[in-house]
Amino acid sequence: MFTKFKWLSMALKNAMRNRRRSLVTVAITATGTAAALLGGGFALYTYESLAQASARDTGHLVVAAPGQFDGIDNLPLEHGLEQPEAVAQQLMARPDVKRVLPRLQFSGLISNGDKSEIFLGTGVDAMQEFVVKGPFMKREAGELLDAQIPGSAPGIVIGKGLAKILNAQPGSALTLMSTTVNGALNAADVVVTGVVSTGIADVDKRLAMVDLSTAQTLLQTQKVSTLSVYLKDLALSDTVAEQLRAQHGAKLEVRTWLQQAMFYLSVKSLYDRIFGFLGVIVLVIVLFAITNTLAMAVLERTREIGTLRAMGATPGEVMRVFTLEGMALGSGGALAGMALAGGVALFLLVAGVQMPPPPGRTDGYPLAVAVSIPMYAGAAVTVALLSACASWIVSRRAAHQSVVEALSHV
């Protein structure tokens, strides 16, 4: 009876018959869509930030000797990696590897002469370690290990919580005591070069970082705990990990940053449930708004439906008009919601709004919302399809009633 363009034109004209009701429907849809996109964007930004923090902390890949990840050692470095330089050279030969950093994990007591405290130490590559930490480790005072003068006393960087407990500051002399790989007790004198903060209070109370050679001398070994591999792209982690496992077999264990990121996985699981539930609520509200609007339109135009049927229109063609009308309202609301969400995201980026520190942390973080093209497109398509389905269901009964009954409707 009509071309597809004329059907769409008729649907748009019908949507504008009651402008106030249509605008209210579009506003509700836009608000719901924007709320869903802002919630999803906040969750996505949080995921990206936590992923970067986890990857910078552990490396995109962590390479170790068999048994190291089990955490069951009778003596320090019982499952340490031998000849780490040779393994690191093999890894650096790969075109997708950017850095390979050795790390030696150890623990013991740290003393200022009057007071001793438990510490969790890491022997690191002083020239590269703090480069990869980036903004996720903040210098509070002094200098880092890479600024240490050659030939001077071994330096140490400690967390601000530990510095407060020991009343230490840059230049303070401390003593490290730990167990060697042979089970003997050993000690080393160090000088505080800097104080740092990770933003996590419990970590800052135990954090101690020294040069790798200092840690190896203290533990009397040439082993390291792990090699942290930094790739040119985070997305390559799984692919490169599988290649390394196939290449080295049982000689080395390889884990990705995701396998080490327990905090990231916990937060993602929690946010997925929270924002997923909120998204469902928003979609239900939008669905009811569209359904209510189209139900009233169908009721008001029952006689018009009978006239169209009398002129030869089929029930399918009548339902097509209302389906297109509902899709037009839903699409308009979705586009307005996308624009609103994008505007809010831009405002937050420019305004620099800060969130308060979350539980267990000492520093706040910027309130930002990620803008993801796939997420926006998916939201628009979902809202449009739901609106079309609701309109089709509402108009189905009226389109199939008899012509006489529709024409006599009051």
Residue-wise pLDDT for 95-114, tens only, equals 999 999 999 999 999 999 88
Distances (CA, A) of 110 to 96, 117, 180: 39, 5, 15
Spatial CA neighbour of 119 closest among 175, 173, 69: 175
Kindly write down the DSSP assignment for every residue of 184-224, as one continuous string.
-EEEEEEEEEEEEE-SBHHHHTTEEEEEHHHHHHHHT-S-B
pLDDT, average across residues 260-286: 88
**Res 335: pLDDT:** 93
pLDDT bin (cut points 50, 70, 90) of residue 279 is confident
pLDDT, average across residues 28-44: 91
**Res 5: pLDDT:** 64
**CA dist., res. 130 & res. 197, Å (int):** 12
What stretch of H or E contains 117? Answer: strand 116-124
Q: Which of 18-27, 179-188, 334-343 has the lowest mean pLDDT?
A: 18-27
pLDDT bin (cut points 50, 70, 90) of residue 408 is low
Q: Which of 138-147, 219-228, 384-393 has the highest mean pLDDT?
A: 219-228
Go through 9-37 and write b for each residue having 16 or more CB atoms within 10 A of its CB, e for each that does not.
Answer: ebbeebbeeeeeebeebbebbbbbbbbbb
pLDDT bin (cut points 50, 70, 90) of residue 11 is low
pLDDT, average across residues 319-344: 88
pLDDT, average across residues 300-310: 74
Q: Domain limits of the chain?
A: 4-53+264-407, 66-251
Checking if the pLDDT of 1 tops 50, the result is no
For the chain, give the mean pLDDT.
87
Q: Which of 175-179, 240-244, 391-395 has the lowest mean pLDDT?
A: 391-395
Contact 246, 52 (CB under 8 A): no
Checking if the pLDDT of 409 tops 70, the result is no
**Res 248: pLDDT:** 87
Q: Looking at this protein, which amino acid is placed at residue 4? A: K
pLDDT, average across residues 127-151: 84
Q: How crowded is residue 362: how many other Cβ atoms within 10 Å of its Cβ?
A: 15
pLDDT, average across residues 324-329: 84
| pLDDT tens readout for residues 216-258 | 999 999 999 999 999 999 999 999 999 999 998 888 999 999 9
**Res 285: pLDDT:** 84
Return the higher-pLDDT residue of 373 and 291.
373
Q: The dihedral of CA 66, 68, 71, 76: what is its sign?
A: positive
Report pTM: 0.81
Checking if the pLDDT of 160 tops 60, the result is yes
**Res 104: pLDDT:** 95
